[in-house]
């Protein structure tokens, strides 16, 4: 089916390992060992980094070599791709230098001038910028639609629509999209469905099992997990799409580097363990925040008060329990000034533009991650200017709660000070950014 959507015949042949594997191992085992535990005597247990641009060949026009040049493929990158694909019961993934490089390759692979893409209305800010400020200039049009409502996605589809791109849970509102419901709309119309699964990872959610054609990852977040290496990945079970992604990656020069592939693979080994623990901590902290009188609202799919709690329980169930990921967001009483004061007051949590790392990180969505999203569009998507995002780390939850307690107290004190209260958002935001 996907072949109908690619605009040129893929000229690449796939590595021999790309047939869809039948997994007999659990996700934690695959994350650690890949699809098949390696059993080569004398081999290093930690794997290796093949830090080389090029690979020796026997003769001109001789036997094809597994790797020729690292813009096309590299042994360390291969190791990561096999493991990333296997964890999702898919052929080897295609990895990139960043998550946005993966998204760019996806769009360039399946869209051309005149085509149209439907985007969920609460997606990563960088994806919005890519659509509005890059794809639009190439004649690729887009429509934002609330993906919580499949009928609205359906209504946004035009005869030129080739791709629907959604993210669940949405960043930073945590609003969920029912992937199956959207897939049911896309399939009969021969429209590809891509799901940005960065927040939950295949440990909690497997978009390909729910009818999505492509899963998109910023491996920079939970998968690498230690804040050390940028990266992106695309997984699909469609061989023609895989070949097309590899062709576009080679042509645009966006492949992951051997060192970052190694670091990402090392992160992947503990991904199931970390994602479950991040989720447990986030649940505790979300419940605590909800009882705090300084907090107006908490968004976390594991809360009873979450508007889509039933969908969350259904969509986030795994063989080892139900998990909702490590990211939550909340709104402070006192709005923007309180949020900015809070963000300046945290001591254990770090103010940074990141999620999914081992440490707890707070972010102000309106001025940091979503600064390039027009204010009207931000508000329509539920991203109020006072919203704080918390990526819950692996510290003892009691210590994170102690830090949040003192920062909330500082925020409360600050909003009672007229000088802070009257500061316009931009000036106060600059103070936060300058910190």
Which residues, 340 to 369, sit near ligand PLP by CB under 6 A? 355
The span from the CA of 153 to the CA of 32, in Å, is 38
* Least distance to ligand PLP, CB of residue 358, Å: 16
- Quote the least distance from Cβ 208 to ligand PLP, whole Å: 17
Q: Is 224 in the site for ligand PLP (CB under 6 A)?
A: no
Helix axes 258-269, 75-86, angle to 10 degrees: 30
Q: Can 379 be counted among the known catalytic residues? A: no
Shortest distance (Å) from residue 41 CB to ligand PLP: 37
Query: For residue 8, what are the contacts with CB-CB under 8 A and spacing of at least 6?
Result: none
State in angstroms the smallest separation of the CB of 369 from ligand PLP.
8
Closest-CB residue for ligand PLP? 99
The catalytic residue among 78, 124, 237, 274 is: 124
Q: Give 47 or 356: the residue with its C-beta nearer to ligand PLP.
A: 356
Task: Pick the binder of ligand PLP from 218, 235, 329, 391 (CB under 6 A).
Answer: 218
Binds ligand PLP (CB under 6 A): choice among 77, 90, 100, 420: 100
Q: Which is nearer to ligand PLP, 167 or 331 (CB)?
A: 167
CB closer to ligand PLP out of 267 and 337: 267
- Which of the stretches 72-80, 218-226, 302-310, 411-419 binds ligand PLP when contact is defined by CB under 6 A? 218-226
Number of residues that bind ligand PLP (CB under 6 A): 16
**Would you give the binding string for ligand PLP spanning residues 168-187, x where CB under 6 A is met?**
---x----------------
Is 297 marked active-site?
no
In whole angstroms, what is the distance from residue 127 CA to residue 119 CA? 9
Interactions with ligand PLP, residue window 241-300 (CB under 6 A)? none
The answer to whether 98 contacts ligand PLP (rule: CB under 6 A) is yes
- Regarding 6 and contact with ligand PLP (CB under 6 A), the answer is no
Q: Which of 99, 120, 207, 301 is in the footprint of ligand PLP by CB under 6 A? A: 99
Q: Interacting stretch for ligand PLP, rule CB under 6 A, among 10-18, 97-105, 109-117, 378-386? A: 97-105
Among 84, 166, 193, 230, binds ligand PLP (CB under 6 A): 230
Backbone angles phi, psi at 103, to 5 degrees: -65, -40
Report in angstroms how near the CB of residue 324 gets to ligand PLP at its nearest.
15
State the catalytic residue, choosing from 196, 213, 238, 403.
Answer: 196
| Binding flags for ligand PLP, 118-137, as an x/- string (CB under 6 A) | ------x-x-----------
Q: What are phi and psi of 148, to 5 degrees?
A: -65, -20
To the nearest 10 degrees (0 to 180), the angle between helices 397-415 and 271-291 is 40
Q: Minimal distance in Å, beta carbon 239 to ligand PLP?
A: 25
Active site residue 250: no
Question: Is 221 assigned a catalytic role?
Answer: yes
Nearest partner of 391 among 433, 429, 363, judged by Cα: 363
Which residues bind to ligand PLP, rule: CB under 6 A? 98-100, 124, 126, 167, 171, 196, 198-199, 218, 220-221, 230, 232, 355
Residues with active-site annotation:
71, 124, 196, 221
């Amino acid at each position: 089916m996907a072949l109908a959507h690619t605009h040129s015949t893929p000229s690449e042949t796939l590595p021999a390992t790309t047939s869809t594997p039948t997994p007999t191992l659990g996700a934690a085992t695959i994350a650690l060992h890949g699809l098949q535990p390696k059993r080569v005597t004398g081999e290093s247990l930690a794997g290796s980094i093949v830090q080389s641009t090029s690979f020796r060949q026997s003769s001109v026009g001789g036997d094809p070599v597994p790797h020729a040049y690292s813009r096309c493929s590299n042994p360390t990158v291969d190791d990561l791709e096999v493991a990333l694909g296997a964890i999702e019961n898919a052929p080897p993934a295609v990895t990139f230098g960043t998550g946005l490089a993966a998204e760019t390759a996806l769009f360039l692979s399946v869209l051309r001038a005149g085509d149209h893409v439907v985007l969920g209305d609460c997606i990563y800010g960088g994806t919005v910028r890519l659509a509005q400020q890059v794809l639009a200039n190439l004649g690729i049009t887009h429509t934002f639609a609330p993906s919580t409502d499949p009928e609205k996605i359906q209504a946004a589809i035009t005869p030129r629509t080739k791709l629907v791109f959604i993210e669940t849970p949405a960043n930073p509102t945590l609003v969920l999209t029912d992937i199956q419901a959207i897939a049911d709309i896309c399939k009969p119309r021969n429209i590809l469905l891509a799901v940005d699964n960065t927040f939950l990872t295949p440990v909690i959610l497997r978009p390909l099992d729910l009818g999505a054609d492509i899963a998109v990852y910023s491996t920079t977040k939970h998968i690498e997990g230690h804040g050390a290496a940028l990266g992106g990945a695309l997984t699909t079970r469609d061989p023609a799409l895989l070949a097309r992604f590899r062709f576009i990656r080679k042509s645009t020069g966006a492949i992951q580097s051997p060192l970052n592939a190694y670091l990402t693979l090392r992160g992947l080994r503990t991904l199931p363990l970390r994602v479950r623990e991040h989720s447990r901590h986030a649940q505790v902290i979300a419940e605590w925040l909800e009882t705090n009188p300084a907090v107006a609202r908490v968004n976390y799919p594991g809360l009873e008060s979450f508007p889509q709690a039933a969908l969350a329980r259904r969509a986030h169930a795994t063989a080892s329990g139900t998990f909702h990921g490590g990211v939550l967001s909340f709104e402070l009483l006192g709005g923007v000034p309180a949020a900015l004061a809070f963000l300046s007051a945290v001591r254990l949590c770090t103010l940074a533009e990141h999620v999914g790392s081992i440490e707890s990180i707070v972010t102000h969505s309106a001025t940091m991650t979503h600064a390039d999203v027009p204010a009207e569009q931000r508000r329509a998507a539920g991203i109020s200017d006072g919203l704080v995002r918390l990526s819950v780390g692996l510290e003892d939850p009691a210590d994170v709660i102690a830090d949040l307690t003192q920062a909330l107290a500082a925020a409360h004190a600050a909003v009672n000070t007229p000088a802070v209260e009257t500061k316009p958002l931009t000036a106060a935001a600059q103070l936060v950014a300058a910190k």
